[in-house]
Amino acid sequence: MARFPYYEKNVGALGRLIAQAAVDSDLLARLKKDPLSYLTDIGLPEQTTQLIRFEVVEKRNNPKAVAIPYRLNAEKLHQADTTYLSGLSNMFASN
């Protein structure tokens, strides 16, 4: 996910670049070595490419990572609603 300013028109190209790098280890290595050239090529705003030092960070330690919902349903938790709790536990179950 991009954590820097970009144009809406760059979204598709950024997504493709990130997706391709995720499955192509050679591209990932090149992107890590010189992210600026790839980001310039896809048309990122000059103020972004000139003012920000880019670093590619990958986290593959936990490929099954999940996000906990921002707010759990307190009433269903308090009532020990088995359907609700089962759904939550399935989010963390190993397949």
Nearest-angstrom CA–CA distance, 54 and 32: 9
Q: What is the pLDDT of residue 95?
A: 43
Residue 21 CB neighbour total at 10 angstroms: 20
Question: Per residue in 54-64, pLDDT tens?
Answer: 778 777 665 65
Q: Is the pTM of this model over 0.95?
A: no
Give the mean pLDDT of the chain.
Answer: 76
Position 1 pLDDT exceeds 60: no
Question: Per residue in 24-37, pLDDT tens?
Answer: 889 999 999 998 89
